[in-house]
Structure 1
Amino acid sequence: MTRTLLLFGDSNTHGTMPVASLGDQGRYGPGERWPGRLRALLPDWEVIAEGHPGRTTLHDDPIEGAHRNGLRVLPALLESHRPVDAVVVMLGTNDLKDRFSVNADDIALSLERLVGVIRTSGAGPGGAAPGVLLIAPPPVLEVGVLAGMFRGGAAKSQVLGARIAEMAQRIGVPWLDAGAMVRVSPIDGVHYGPEANPVLAEAVAAAVRRHFAPA
């Protein structure tokens, strides 16, 4: 029986390429993106990629729009795709933007709130709770055209993975540290180069098999 895996993320789940100038909208092809590669690795799953560039955990973006608030859209996505067996959440990078003025502890707590929404959604099979896998995004660099936007974010991002790990262990959710596997591009310091996609897909596939094996 095919099960459903929802990938809830930002531009790096969307497949956005590193940007050399503001306004660039390059996107990897469907088979190049890590979600597309994940589909090929998990043939017994329906893999649904819900990656939105600029998505935050729970902040209304005063410049790019309130619709980038992950907390606002998550309940609708869970309902529209149900039954959802498991949700992979990889967010937090956009929370590092200077405009939000939050630290790594706040970002981890924001992710915990999203986990709570998933666990109480009743969007799993038979009204159960979907499983959750958290992915801590890799640290950002303050380089290129996004450097000013992410001013101060590089230092925060260096401890974000540890804060997410602590939170995940406390609430009993499996997690991956993407920063141990992939690096952001030196072009813009936020997005992934093409070499990261297969690495991340393999790691997520292994984690899904390990944590969400059929009963």
Structure 2
Amino acid sequence: MRTLLLFGDSNTHGTLPVRALGQSGRFAREDRWSTRLARLLPGWEVIAEGHPGRTTLHDDPVEGAHRNGLTVLPALLESHRPADVVLLMLGTNDLKERFSVNAGDIALSLERLVRVILASGCGPEGGAPGVLLVAPPPIEEVGCLAGMFAGGAAKSRALAAEVQEAAGRLGVPFLDAGKVVQVSPIDGIHYGPEANPALAEAFAAAIHQHFPG
């Protein structure tokens, strides 16, 4: 059985759209796109490592340094080795105003994460895991999270193209989640229930295409 590691943020965790700060609802396990993806990939162990608030490589001065994806990635790779493929979908939280980074910077941060994965030796027989690099969908500045992500909507619309260029430089497959799902109008960040089957099907198709056998 092959292993697929999903490395992401709250939208990999399955967080529900929030109407007020401090809410932390989560889709039922059987409804999450990660669980649906596992059902579509017989022969794969699908491991969801989604952490709400996770950034690519930034210590969050408000929500905590433990949100830094680069810091925790090596340990997660080692704890789940051998990992055949890593599905990497991050960047949304980097759009928070507090980080002051643009789409190009976010793509470069994702590129650094991919290079860590490829150099990890945590794939089969000590090789490199495969990587599917995913650009998250554009965000909207609405609801209770609008202030936190002020200025992020415009940046997010440039992100897919930048991430696709990074994937090209790295020679890894790319998927634009913005062509599959949209964020919820409730908070402009998280996905509604309709996104779960759509993402599962799109990711399953990409895994079958790029990592057959």
TM-score (norm 1): 0.98
Matched, 1:195 2:157: no
Amino acid at match of 2:79: S
Cα distance between partner residues in 1 of 2:207 and 2:153: 29
Q: Deviations over 1:40-70 (max 9, x none)?
A: 0001100000000000000000000000000
Cα distance between partner residues in 1 of 2:43 and 2:27: 24
> How many Å apart are 1:169 and its aligned residue?
1.2
Task: Tell me the equivalent position of 2:64.
Answer: 65
Overall identity of the aligned pairs, in %: 74
Amino acid at match of 1:206: A
Q: Deviations over 1:10-46 (max 9, x none)?
A: 0000000000001111100111110010010001100
Amino acid at match of 2:155: K
- Which SS does the other structure have where 2:122 is aligned? coil
Task: Tell me the equivalent position of 2:84.
Answer: 85
Cα distance between partner residues in 2 of 1:70 and 1:43: 28
Amino acid at match of 1:46: E
Indicate the RMSD between aligned Cα atoms, in angstroms: 0.5
> How many Å apart are 1:172 and its aligned residue?
0.7
Task: Tell me the equivalent position of 2:54.
Answer: 55
Amino acid at match of 2:141: E
Cα distance between partner residues in 2 of 1:107 and 1:71: 13
Alignment of 1:181-192 (within 5 A): 181-192=180-191
In structure 1, stretches of 5+ residues that fail to align are: none
Q: Deviations over 1:95-145 (max 9, x none)?
A: 000000000000000000000000000000100000000110000000000
Number of residue pairs matched by the alignment: 213
Task: Tell me the equivalent position of 2:211.
Answer: 212
Task: Tell me the equivalent position of 2:18.
Answer: 19
Amino acid at match of 1:95: D
Task: Tell me the equivalent position of 1:124.
Answer: 123
Task: Tell me the equivalent position of 2:98.
Answer: 99
Task: Tell me the equivalent position of 2:29.
Answer: 30
In structure 2, stretches of 5+ residues that fail to align are: none
> How many Å apart are 1:181 and its aligned residue?
0.9
Amino acid at match of 1:59: H
Amino acid at match of 2:34: P
TM-score (norm 2): 0.99
Cα distance between partner residues in 2 of 1:128 and 1:211: 17
Cα distance between partner residues in 1 of 2:170 and 2:79: 26
Structure 1 range deviating more: 66-75 or 164-173: 164-173
Moved over 2 A (4+): none
Amino acid at match of 2:140: L
Amino acid at match of 2:52: P
Cα distance between partner residues in 1 of 2:56 and 2:68: 6
Task: Tell me the equivalent position of 2:176.
Answer: 177
- Which SS does the other structure have where 1:7 is aligned? strand
Amino acid at match of 2:126: G
Amino acid at match of 1:82: R
